[in-house]
Amino acid sequence: MEWDDSMKIDLIFAAGNKGRRDFYGKTVVVIDVLRATSTIVTALTNGCLAVFPVADPGTAALFRRKLGSGCLTGGERKKLKIPGFDLGNSPLEYTAETVAGQKIILTTSNGTQALLEAEHAAEILIGSFLNAGRTSAHLADKGEVVFFCAGTAGEPGLEDLLCAGLMIERLLAQGVEAELTDAARIGLAAYRHLMGQPTADPVAVLYQTQHAKGLAALGFTADISYCAQIDARPCVVRFRDGRITLVPEADAASKA
């Protein structure tokens, strides 16, 4: 009997459509380009010790009391900072001066919901354009990978789909033999069509997405340009045991 040892790649279009059992034994990459996963990557590479995703503002308040000092609350509802929180969901707020040495409790409308949905996976990584290359390299020896696009309110988000497509393209370019589901093929096709050409401008493409237009209307245009920077913050970020942290360089390098 011949065993098929090719990587299995799947893609989920939005949070809220899968049960936790669907993730057992799989490596899941949660993607919320605008803006939760971009913000998480930024915070950690600026010296934040750990990010703790929670479901709602009430849970964030309770968790903050538990953690005590050296802790900040961050997040949004309807794209705006939650009243009483230290930070919103703009990655540009998470500067080294603000977050270095701090722990952050984060709750967002879509990204943290996807993270909590996937919490029983074998491994959960945080994906964004900012760290797409390093994340793809880390995935190269995995058996079954799911790109979990957070979307918006249960609907697909093109920006997340494009980021997933970029990472699938990077895996194939590494020579990984992969079996793609139809959903994964859609992500790859979208990336190749809209961003795969050398002349493509990722910032311009992201500005055309529905979610980006909503952010721009609220004055967050700088966030869109920032989140479109491919490989600007090379790192591998993992969600394990309730906390999100950087994977140590030595561990990440061994996967490259």
Per-residue pLDDT tens over the stretch 50-87: 999 999 999 999 999 998 888 999 999 999 999 999 99
pLDDT number for residue 2: 45
Domain-wise residue ranges, the chain: 7-247
Q: What is the pLDDT of residues 104-145, one digit of tens each?
A: 999 999 999 999 999 999 999 999 999 999 999 999 999 999
- With both helix axes pointing from N to C terminus, report the angle between 158-173 and 132-139 in degrees, rounded to the nearest 10: 50
Arithmetic mean of pLDDT, 201-206:
98
CATH superfamily membership of 7-247? ComB-like (3.90.1560.10)
In the chain, what percentage of residues exceed pLDDT 70?
Answer: 96
Mean per-residue pLDDT for 93-110? 98
- Measured CA to CA, the distance from residue 64 to residue 47 in angstroms comes to 19
Q: What is the DSSP string of 141-192?
A: T-SEEEEEE--BTTB--HHHHHHHHHHHHHHHHTT--EEE-HHHHHHHHHHH
Full-model pTM: 0.95
Contact call for residues 7 and 176 (beta carbons, < 8 A): yes
Residue 186 reports pLDDT greater than 70: yes
Mark 125-136 as b/e (b = at least 16 C-beta within 10 Å). bbbbbbbbbbbb
Other residues' Cβ atoms within 10 Å of the Cβ of residue 140: 15
For residue 254, what pLDDT is reported? 54
The confidence score (pLDDT) of residue 69 equals 87
- In this predicted structure, what is the pLDDT of residue 18? 85
